[in-house]
Amino acid sequence: MSALLPVRQVAKPWGRDVLPAPFIAPGGERIGEIWFEPPPELPGLLVKYIFTSEKLSVQVHPSDAQRPGEGKEECWLIVDAEPGASLGIGLRETLDAEALRAAALDGSVEQLMEWHPVRAGDFFYIPANTVHAIGPGVSLIEVQQNSDTTYRLYDYGRPREMHLDHAVEVANAAPYPASLRDRASPGETVRLVDGRFFRLDQVTGGSFAQVAGDYARSPLLVIPRDATATIADQDIAPGQCGLALSLDELALSPTGTYLLSQTL
């Protein structure tokens, strides 16, 4: 069995025809997402790269409590950002359902959102029910519950299906807690997520022992950021994602930086 997860490149009108290294967009295509197919051993965890040239829709995901089996909590690690790039996460003030609906209908929700300037290494955890959007000029790694349930609240007048009733029903139209934001520059070891659904750490090969105990009992995903990892004698390079069934088959470069994740 290969340790390397299969890759799916997804063209999007808001994607980019020039991608940050090591990615290369096929000629004439605007790549918006690169998916790593979840393995059977970790079916509930999905890893993506996202690349934007335009604002993505303002949207919200339900929780498992609201939509059993469809809940989606996710997180974003910025790997590259153009000057002025930002993410819309949460609102500047709390709105009730009627006010949120009205803001979505007249487009003022875009101005009511909190737009966070970003640079490489910024990290954001996005709980279910959070109103959010990704701005242009951003490249990020997304780790998420494996669900495709997304409710569009507003899309800047573009002719795509909206899901206003569902979005308003599940949205927490409130400010984004500062405690859910962090930094993870290459070379730094930091626990980014220790939530109800999945765990995510950034480590160097030399610091892996600090978190190894937490990954001892389950398979884990390995996402190299700047150096190759070896899983069962197979190299996993930056821009790829690999599955390690046990720590015994994983070797990391002492000075390399990696993301490690598993479901809980």
Residue 251, class by beta-carbon neighbours within 10 Å (0-12 exposed, 13-18 middle, 19+ buried)? middle
**61 contacts 150 by C-beta, under 8 angstroms:** yes
Residue 67: active-site member? no
**Structure tokens that stand for 41 in this block:** 């051993």
> In the chain, helix, strand, coil percent, each to 5?
15, 40, 45
216, HSE (Cβ side, Cα atoms, 13 Å): 6
Residues sharing a CB contact under 8 Å with residue 159, sequence separation 6 or more, in sequence order: none
The angle subtended at Cα 263 by Cα 242 and Cα 229, nearest 5°, is 20
Query: Which residue is listed with tokens 């930094």?
Result: 183
CA-CA distance, 111 to 217, in Å (whole number)? 46
> The tokens 């970790």 sit on which residue?
42
Could you list the beta-strand ranges (E) of 118-219: 122-126, 132-134, 138-145, 151-154, 181-183, 190-194, 198-204
Set 152, 160, 191, 225: catalytic member:
152
The token pair at 208 is 């892996």
Burial 79-97 (b: 16+ CB within 10 A, else e): bbbeeebbbbbbbeeebee
Active site members: 152
